[in-house]
Homo-oligomer: A and B are copies of this chain.
Amino acid sequence: MTASPQFAGQDPPKTYAIIVAGGSGTRMGTVIPKQFLLIHGKPVLMHTIEAFHRSASNPHIIVVLPPNFHSYWDELCIKHHFKIDHDLVSGGETRFHSVKNGLDIVPGNPLALVAIHDAVRPLAGAGLIDAAYSQSAQLGNAIAAVKSRDSIRLQKADTTVSLLRNDVYLIQTPQTFRLDQLKAAYLQPYDQKFTDDASVVEQAGFAIHLVEGEYNNIKITFLADLAVAELFLGQ
Contacts and interface: CB of A to CB of B under 8 A. Distances in A.
Contacts of A198: 151, 153, 162
For this complex, into which size category does the number of interface residues on chain A fall?
A: 35 or more
Nearest to A163: B154
Interface of A: 143, 145, 148-155, 159-172, 193, 195-196, 198-199, 202, 207-208, 210, 215-216, 219, 221-222, 224, 227-228, 231-232
A167 B157 CA distance: 10
Q: How many identical chains are in the complex?
A: 2
A177 to B, nearest CB: 15
B164 A152 contact: no
Given A196-B151, A219-B150, A231-B228, A202 B162 contact: yes
Contact of A150 (B160, B161, B166, B171): B171
A198 B228 CA distance: 30
Given A159-B207, A160-B208, A160-B210, A151 B232 contact: no
